[in-house]
Amino acid sequence: MKAFILLTIRTGAIPEVVQNIRRLRGVTAVEMTFGPYDAIVTVEADSLTQIARLVNIEIQVIPGVEDTLTCLAVPI
């Protein structure tokens, strides 16, 4: 299963947040963006439960992360 997590990050905290997220198991990419979101994280896991845990327990608690929006990738 693959998901894209769009992040809103506190001003000035982007480099530190990105560095912390890159260390997490299941994260395959982290990109800083310009626009309504500050970064996009690509994750892969075996189940929706694992993605939920990654977002809720590991990403949302990182200092500087203000908001997340998780978009599940659907193969076509």
> How far is residue 36 from each of residues 7, 43, 46, 69, measured CA to CA in Å?
9, 20, 29, 11
Beta-bridged to residue 68, according to DSSP, are: 7
pLDDT at 11 over 90: yes
Residue 16 CB neighbour total at 10 angstroms: 14
Which tokens go with 48?
């929706």
* Domains contained in the chain, CATH given: 2-72 (3.30.70.920)
Beta-bridged to residue 45, according to DSSP, are: none
Q: pTM for this structure? A: 0.92
pLDDT tens digits, 34-68: 999 999 999 999 999 999 999 999 999 999 999 99
User: pLDDT class for 1, splitting at 50, 70, 90?
Assistant: very high
Please give the Cα distance from 39 to 15 (Å, whole number): 10
